[in-house]
Amino acid sequence: MKRVTRDQLCTSLSKDNPPALRVQPGEIFVMETNDRFATNEGPDSSQEAMRILQTRTGPAYIEGAKPGDTLKVEVLDVTPATDAYIAATPGRGPLGEYIPQFRKTKVNIGRDGVVFNDRVIMPLRPMISSMAVAPKGGELPSNAKGEFGGGMGNTHISSGATVYLPVFHEGALLTIGDCHAAMGDGEAGASAVECGVDATLRISIEKNFQVTRPVVATGDHVVTWGEGQTMELATKTAIKAMADLLVDSLGIDHTDAAMLIASAADVHTCLAGNPPYAMKVLMPRSVLSL
């Protein structure tokens, strides 16, 4: 099985990044991500540690993908490393004023979950926080977010999920990173459980379904996503994406879509700590099935 190793990295999102790997549609392969927080010490971090913090694995070039296509990324498995870190930084997030100094806590990933201390074990919920194709315009920072994906902070991107992304350039140039052994919706108070993972993916070019921004499908829900400099704008973007998806998929108008969203969908936070924020809308698959 082909593999993009955790030292095959880029620090931006760009069509000009050389491919780390070329794969055929339908081919199963692995993308390893690094532990970005292992060397990070907050405000006192070295320049190299700050560079590592910005790294993403890839990109993977998907043979045959061309602008206007929709990429179908099946997340077959996300296996976290055994060691991970949680970091809290003064002034960052809603609780930043109550954090007097930077603290990084090493946690262990065990069979029963994430071992925070001898009294607290958190559920193990591995996920991929950043997944992107090369954006339409020029080079962007690796933590950028938009119609191309990027730092979505969507906890539904985990084992068993399928992520649909629009393609803007030949080969799509997929990157992943910022992975977690566990993350609460919003990642509101500090970092999530930061770690390296081995992500097993199968990517194909979707012929029957087209997207203009990221959509995630799980066994229970179809999830749209939105970003913005305010929570209100991020929420509006995610809801409008769901409304457009309902209109296109069910042949209804936006008035009916508004009724379905108000009655059946749940609006959840993806990233609530600092702008740009991110939100998601979950629609049961009994209402909308891709």
CATH 2.60.120.580 is held by the domain 2-80+127-207: yes
| pLDDT for position 49 | 84
Query: Residue ranges of the domains in the chain?
Result: 2-80+127-207, 219-284
**Chain centroid to CA 279:** 12
Which tens digit of pLDDT belongs to each residue from 55-107?
999 999 999 999 999 999 999 999 999 999 999 999 988 999 999 999 999 99
| pLDDT for position 32 | 98
- Taking only Cα atoms into account, the Rg of the chain, rounded to an integer number of angstroms, comes to 18
| pLDDT for position 41 | 85
Average confidence (pLDDT) over 198-203: 98
Predicted confidence (pLDDT) at residue 1 exceeds the cutoff of 90? yes
| pLDDT for position 55 | 94
Question: What's the CATH code, domain 219-284?
Answer: 3.10.28.20
Q: How far apart are CA 178 and CA 37, in angstroms?
A: 10
Mean pLDDT of the chain: 96
Predicted confidence (pLDDT) at residue 207 exceeds the cutoff of 90? no
Average confidence (pLDDT) over 242-262: 98
The more confidently predicted of residues 288 and 38 is: 288
Which tens digit of pLDDT belongs to each residue from 102-126?
999 999 998 889 999 999 999 999 9
Which tens digit of pLDDT belongs to each residue from 118-153?
999 999 999 999 999 999 989 999 999 999 999 999
Predicted confidence (pLDDT) at residue 42 exceeds the cutoff of 90? no
260's torsion region: left (phi>0), alpha (psi -120 to 50) or beta? alpha
Percentage with pLDDT > 70 across the chain: 100
| pLDDT for position 155 | 98
Q: How far apart are CA 269 and CA 225, in angstroms?
A: 10
Can you give the pTM of this predicted structure?
Answer: 0.96
| pLDDT for position 186 | 96
Predicted confidence (pLDDT) at residue 38 exceeds the cutoff of 90? no
Which tens digit of pLDDT belongs to each residue from 9-26?
999 999 999 999 999 999
Predicted confidence (pLDDT) at residue 286 exceeds the cutoff of 90? yes
Residues in the chain: 290
Predicted confidence (pLDDT) at residue 269 exceeds the cutoff of 90? yes
| pLDDT for position 233 | 98
| pLDDT for position 110 | 86
Predicted confidence (pLDDT) at residue 234 exceeds the cutoff of 90? yes
Do 142 and 59 meet the contact criterion of CB atoms below 8 Å apart? Answer: no
| pLDDT for position 199 | 98
